[in-house]
Structure 1
Amino acid sequence: MGMRREHWLWIVGIALAGLVLRCFAARGGLWLDEAWSAVFAQEVATPAGVLFQINHDNNHHLNTLWLQLVGPAAPPILQRALSIVSSSATIVVAAAIAARRGPAPAICAAVAFAVAPFLLTYGAEARGYAPMLLACVSAIAIIDGWLADPTRPKPSSALTIAALLGCLAQATMMFALVILTLWVTVERCRNAGWRKGLPDTIALFAPAAAVAVLLVAGAWAAAAGGGGFHIGNREPHDWLKWSDAMRQLLAGMFGATILAVPLLYLARGTSDRLATLALIACALPLAVALLALPNSGAARYYAVVVPPLLLLTVIILPMAWNHPVKRWIAAAISLTFLLTAAVADRAIIRNLRGDPGRAVATLARVAPGGAIVSVDYSRSSAILIAAARSQRYSLTVAETACPPARFHLVERDGDTRFPDRPFWCGRTYREIARGDPAGLSGTHWRLYGAMR
């Protein structure tokens, strides 16, 4: 049964619902990484500066260009609009891939990509992961269509454009290109033999690979001429943190990690070419761990694994519906996913990554004429600067904590404790506002006011 007009109307409606969800989740002030992107965008002032002067891993080029275009005074939802639109478009592209397998997988794909907490998180913040994932899923769509009929001309140009935009959006697109190259190699060698499969793969990916190499060379040259490349946070490989990242990744896709086990049972014997893609994608986190690469405990670095696994899931579940036993397992997985995703999405929308904008809103209420705020860490200044610009509030960040300002912001990573008795430079403070993120992204912060 092919796709009919009413099926596409359902998909468009689900995509619009996903857009609304992302708009709700995109409220609140920019958190630390978003805020630094906004500050960088204004410091360099020009698009050329974004491309060649910000030699920092937090410069996701397309996102930084967007932040520069809309300006520092734009409301947060506008600053996040590139991600919101990209993530919403990804819902439709994913449905189009699944539509080649029938209307049921297509509608399931639209629902999964609309409500998956992982995709909602990164589809509602001013960073490069959402446009990168759109490019990644578009590349999957391009390749999947060609693999269905390899006698057609190779879509090298379309794939190159997707690779270019994806790499400019976020560097982890490089991981996606490796995964996709291995996928095509396996599929073509299996179906046509290695003498035909290898040349086909090379011909398909050569232009995209050339673009990727040029981008890496350009970034290296810019870093060499600008004092080197800077990484905001570099942590050595830790198996416990890596395991937690895997838990977050699964929870962000399937709603509950335990669903991976029955899903593997349903996947037995699946011959769809997307099963090969998902299997290869799963090797990425394991390869990162075995190579002990730094920052292996950050779930966001494995974002390119999410689309293949979700696509395989939405193909498997409708297939299982025709089996009397597997039908109940598929129904249980679907219901659990929807319920747990709804709970997680509600928490994301309510929490707003800890909403650092409330710190400036509190200052505007208690000190409407403006304020000077000191910070524990210099990195925290971006949070205040971005929120103050967006809310058009007169705020100065003190360069030193002593002598103490009337207000003091403390920002922490993870479970690091905040001071029980705030006391700086002989002055006692009390907490007047706080924020703690509930999802994959966000800033833990406390705003203190000096006691008279």
Structure 2
Amino acid sequence: MTDAMQGEAGVDRRYWWLLGAIVALGLALRIAGAQGALWLDEAWSAKQAHDAGTPLGVFLNINHDNNHHLNSLWLLLVGFDAPPLLARALSIATGTAAILVAAAIGARRSLTLGLVTALLFAVSPALVTFGSEARGYAPMSLALLTAILLVDRWLAGEAERSPALALAICFFLGAFSQLILFFGFCAVAGWVFFALWKRSGFREALTGSIRLFLPSTIALALVVTIILGAAAARTGFTFGRYDPYNPLELLHGVSEMVQYTVGLPAMSIWGIAAMLVLLVLAPSAGVWRIAFHRLAILAFPLMLALLRSGNVAHPRYYLLIGIALLVLLAEFVWLGMKAGGWKCWLAGATLAGITLASLALDVDLAVNRRGDVGAAIRAMQARAPQGTRLLLDRETGIATLEAAAASAHYPLTVQLEDCTAARFFLADRFRGEQPPARIELCGARYTPIAEARARGMSGTHWTLYERQP
């Protein structure tokens, strides 16, 4: 073996050791973030899967936007009383695997870029959150990143055969994980079209894009047909909540996604401004995949604004922006390191700052546990170990308390009426809402005995009250 070959092998070994350490860090952060009882959306997903009864029922009987089908199948498999860590295992596994795929995307240009990309995906508070809760966002992210990698290799002429079928599988499984993958499909397909147009002209771009994405289009049409067909055969498709379009809410949603993507300490419009500056500088800086970044980061929210779509305040709907932003940031950091001088120092400081800020939010997620409602179960267990009745003031919290009690194997009856038989009362509140200081029902007074306030992208506030003699 020559000295050059030995040196290359040594570099490869160091790369894999460092990548393994980054993946282990990402896995540890996701396991730490997966502690505590299921929060509102997770609990309703688990209850819906349990009520569906069979795998076929998951596809035919739920018909609700809270049904992320592959995640619901997993929740059905593990059971309604599964420990929270097991219920979240699918997201933990796919969220961790996404770090490896992100590294492969970066490593196509440089092994160092692969490590930088992997680190950003490993510690990003948004991806740690989604990768540690029983929802479909982590499997969807893995499917989208795999599609990006396949397309990147194909555009570079490195694919031995057309990845059309593999892409169709990615988009099919990804859409059944979370329907926002449709936005990702548009960004990836548009990226290919514009890349081919620049290379070979409009006609070749059109025919090449159709050949590559026709199977994916059929797969996504099949997903839509299954979902809408099942809804039409039953009671129609239901949204948990629908808010009309509001431009300020769209800005709020995008800002919060940017905040938790890179670990900003507070939500600010300046995060969006900085992201747009990077997008403008990207071509002159030598960044790859310009069309994809423009479509994912800029065209996507502009399309929502033009269509005046509803429910634009939810930050998790902009996960496509977060993924594209991390890939873009990683490349900027690597280019700065490669340039040397003050640019190298700035790039290193940026990477260190994002990593430390992200880790701070990741630790806060692990400590706060999304406002762990399991603490309410433990408080009731301490006072009524044989089981009890709990009164709620609104329906939203039913699944949360039932799921927490089931995983703790605690006999709990949750009810919305008949305060005469309820020893405990729980008020669950969303952001901006405050629970009452005390409650009087049926001639009795309830006073607080436990509470939690959720921080981060997930969770709800709650206060537990006990009837006083």
Please classify the TM superposition score into its range, dividing by the shorter chain length.
over 0.9
- Which structure 2 residues correspond to residues 367-446 of structure 1 after superposition, within 5 A? 367-403=384-420, 405-446=422-463
The 3-state SS of whatever aligns with 2:369 is helix
Paired position in structure 1 for 2:323: 307
Instruction: Report the Cα offset of residue 128 of structure 1.
Output: 0.4
Task: Select which of 284, 288, 295 maps to 1:273.
Answer: 288
- Displacement of 1:246: 1.8
SS at match of 2:148: helix
- Helix, strand or coil: the match of 1:267? helix
Shift in CA distance, 273/193, structure 1 to aligned 2, threshold 3 Å: farther
Tell me, yes or no, if the aligned pair for 2:287 and 2:332 is still in contact at 8 Å.
Answer: no
Aligned counterpart in structure 2 of residue 239 of structure 1, from 226, 239, 247: 247
Higher deviation after alignment, 128-137 or 336-345: 336-345
Paired residues in the alignment total: 452
Does the alignment pair 1:365 with 2:373? no
Query: How far is 1:118 from its partner?
Result: 0.5
Distance in 2 separating the partners of 1:344 and 1:329: 23
Among 110, 125, 132, the residue aligned to 1:117: 125
Residue 294 (structure 1) aligns with: 310
1:229–1:122 Cα change, 3 Å: same
Please tell me whether residue 284 in structure 1 is matched to residue 300 in structure 2. yes
Residue 105 of structure 1 corresponds to which residue in structure 2?
A: 113
Q: Deviations over 1:65-93 (max 9, x none)?
A: 00110112211000000000000000000
Moved more, 24-33 or 434-443: 434-443
Residue by residue over 1:299-332, the C-alpha shift from the partner in whole angstroms, topping out at 9 and shown as x without a partner, is: 1011122222211211121111214332233223
In 1, the alpha carbon distance for the partners of 2:367 and 2:324 equals 29
Unaligned runs of 5+ in 2: 1-6
Say whether residues 1:450 and 2:437 are aligned partners.
Answer: no
Paired position in structure 1 for 2:89: 81
CA–CA distance in 2 between the matches of 1:173 and 1:265? 25
Conserved? CA contact 2:169–2:219, under 8 Å: no
Summarize the Cα distance change of 1:35–1:373 in structure 2 as closer, same or farther, 3 Å threshold.
Answer: same
Write the distance in 1 (CA, Å) between the matches of 2:306 and 2:435.
35
What is aligned with 1:205? 213
Farther-moved stretch of structure 1 (183-192 vs 147-156): 147-156
SS of 2:426's equivalent in the other structure is strand
Q: 1:350 aligned to 2:367?
A: yes
Q: Return the TM-score normalized by structure 2.
A: 0.93
CA distance in 2, matches of 1:32, 1:253: 22
- Which of 67, 77, 93 aligns to 1:69? It is 77
Q: Please report how far the alpha carbon of residue 222 of structure 1 lies from its aligned counterpart in structure 2 after TM superposition.
A: 0.6
Q: Which residue of 1 aligns with 2:3?
A: none
Q: Is the 8 A contact 2:153 2:159 kept in 1?
A: no
Q: Secondary structure at the match of 1:111?
A: helix
- Does the 8 Å contact 1:15/1:92 carry over to 2? yes
Alignment-mate amino acid for residue 145 of structure 2: V
In 2, the alpha carbon distance for the partners of 1:230 and 1:154 equals: 38
1:325 partner SS: helix
Change in Cα spacing, 1:115 to 1:151, as seen in structure 2 (3 Å) is closer
Aligned-partner Cα distance in 1 for 2:198–2:282:
20
1:405 CA displacement: 1.3
In structure 2, the partner of 1:228 is 236
Cα deviations by residue, 1:314-373 (Å, 9 ceiling, x for unpaired): 112111121433223322321221121121111111111111111111111111010101
Contact 2:187 2:296 (C-alpha < 8 Å) held by counterparts: yes
Shift of 1:425: 3.4
| Aligned-partner SS, 2:135 | coil
> How far apart, CA to CA, are the structure 1 residues paired with 2:114 and 2:281?
18
Partner SS, residue 9 of structure 1:
helix
Q: CA deviation at 1:290?
A: 3.2
Can you list the C-alpha shifts for 1:244-302, whole angstroms capped at 9, x where unaligned? 21221111122236563674586351344323211110121232133221110101011
Structure 2 residue matching 1:273: 3-state secondary structure: coil
Query: What residue in structure 2 maps to residue 35 of structure 1?
Result: 43
Tell me if structure 2 keeps the 8 A contact 1:12–1:92.
Answer: no
Give the letter aligned to residue 305 of structure 2. A
Secondary structure of the 2:313 match is coil
In structure 2, how many angstroms separate the alpha carbons of the residues matched to 1:330 and 1:408? 52
In structure 1, distance between residues paired with 2:285 and 2:215: 32
For the pair 1:335 / 2:352, whether they are aligned, the reply is yes
2:151 alignment partner AA = I
CA–CA separation in structure 2 for the residues paired with 1:70 and 1:151: 38
Query: 2:412 and 2:461 mapped to 1: Cα distance?
Result: 20
The residue type paired with residue 328 of structure 2 is L
1:54 to 2:70 alignment: no
Aligned twin of 2:30? 22
Q: Is the 8 A contact 2:393 2:416 kept in 1?
A: no
- Aligned residues of 1:55 and 1:230 also touching (Cα < 8 A): yes
Q: Distance in 2 between matches of 1:425 and 1:151?
A: 71
Inter-CA distance 151–15: structure 2 relative to 1 (3 Å threshold): closer
- Displacement of 1:401 after TM fit? 4.8
> Are the counterparts in 2 of residues 183 and 280 from structure 1 also a CA contact under 8 Å?
yes
The alignment-based identity, stated in percent, is 39
Read off the aligned partner of 2:171 and give its amino acid letter: A
The amino acid across from 2:360 in the alignment is V
Deviation at 1:379, TM superposition (A): 2.1
Structure 2 counterpart of 1:149: 157
The answer on whether the counterparts of 2:437 and 2:447 sit within 8 Å (CA) in structure 1 is no
